[in-house]
Amino acid sequence: MSEPRGRTIPLSRTRRFILDLVHFASKVPSVPVSRTMDVGPLLAARSNHPSRPSWALLFMKAYARVASDHPELRRALLTFPTTRLYEHSINICALAIERSHEGEDGIFVGLFRAPERQTLNELQASLRFYKDTPVEQVGFFRQVLRIGSLPTPLRRFLWWSTLAVSGVKRAKRFGTFGLSTYGALGAEQVHPISPLSTTLTFGPIDTEGRVCVKLIYDHRVVDGAYIARRLADIERVLQTEILEELQRAIPSRTAALGMMHT
């Protein structure tokens, strides 16, 4: 009795995006550095904040705040026509976002310009836009789909020319740092890969507020001890500046609720 035959599944445009990303990320000699952080003081403040911002946004803003003081975190290695470092003037975070498109779950990227200069409410509004707006109505998502329709050699040339030639275009189209997390799903990434110089990730946050945070870095651009110190800086910013912003929003919310009942 013969076995039933399988089927061939054509690659979707979103799957081609992942293939291209992995192709170029595999060329980066990336190394992860981890630190167990205490975000316990933020638990209640985040829960009481009017927009209850995503943890990813809290970490994003803390990282961007640190990177604003440490320009090495805004650098990238360019390889054509000569090998050199490029330092971008602002932070641009590339946040991995899962969206469903044409019946398939795929990974898209939401770009957040200078997140350290935005309020948590503004960042949360941008995140809702990326998550809720139809895929075809988001400019960067449309670009991913358009490039995904091209033949592989042309796609790879466009990726290479953006990553290797122009620092400005690289930052504008791919960001200066990445952020990806499965923490909300109860899982932790061991060593996420990316074509960017640094990628931040974190795992599940326990009831006491302890969480493992990793910063994956391109060893051609920065070194491990430097990254370890920046992780300590991120924890400090979370426990001070980010906490203070969360707490500032709580009284105004309480006052507004009080006015509604008078």
Bridge partner list, 224: none
Model pLDDT for residues 226-252, shown as the tens digit of each residue: 999 999 999 999 999 999 999 998 865
Q: What token pair was written down for 3? A: 């076995």
Q: How far apart are CA 164 and CA 158, in angstroms?
A: 10
Question: Which residues are CB-contacts of 256 (< 8 A; sequence separation ≥ 6)?
Answer: none
Model pLDDT for residues 9-44, shown as the tens digit of each residue: 999 999 999 999 999 999 999 999 999 999 999 999
Query: What does the chain come to in residues?
Result: 262
Give the mean pLDDT of 208-215.
98
Q: Flag whether pLDDT at 259 surpasses 50.
A: no
State the pLDDT at residue 258: 41
Give the mean pLDDT of 65-74.
98
Q: How far apart are CA 143 and CA 139, in angstroms?
A: 6
State the pLDDT at residue 252: 55
Give the mean pLDDT of 159-164.
98
State the pLDDT at residue 261: 44
Question: Which residues are CB-contacts of 49 (< 8 A; sequence separation ≥ 6)?
Answer: 120, 246, 249, 250, 253
Q: 57 pLDDT band (50/70/90 cuts)?
A: very high
Q: 55 pLDDT band (50/70/90 cuts)?
A: very high
Q: What token pair was written down for 241? A: 């500046």
Model pLDDT for residues 168-182, shown as the tens digit of each residue: 999 999 999 999 999
Say whether 227 sits in a helix, a strand or coil. Answer: helix
Q: Flag whether pLDDT at 1 surpasses 80.
A: no
Give the C-alpha distances (Å, rounded to integers) separating 5 from 8, 27, 47, 202.
10, 36, 52, 41
Q: Flag whether pLDDT at 158 surpasses 70.
A: yes
- Quick check: 39 and 209 in contact, CB under 8 A? yes
State the pLDDT at residue 210: 98
Model pLDDT for residues 101-154, shown as the tens digit of each residue: 988 999 999 999 999 999 999 999 999 999 999 999 999 999 999 999 999 999
State the pLDDT at residue 251: 67
Q: How far apart are CA 63 and CA 70, in angstroms?
A: 10
Q: How far apart are CA 159 and CA 175, in angstroms?
A: 13
Domains and CATH numbers, the chain: 13-249 (3.30.559.10)
* Runs of H (alpha helix) within the chain: 13-25, 40-48, 55-69, 120-132, 139-148, 152-164, 167-174, 224-237, 243-260
Give the C-alpha distances (Å, rounded to integers) separating 108 from 15, 51, 174.
10, 23, 11
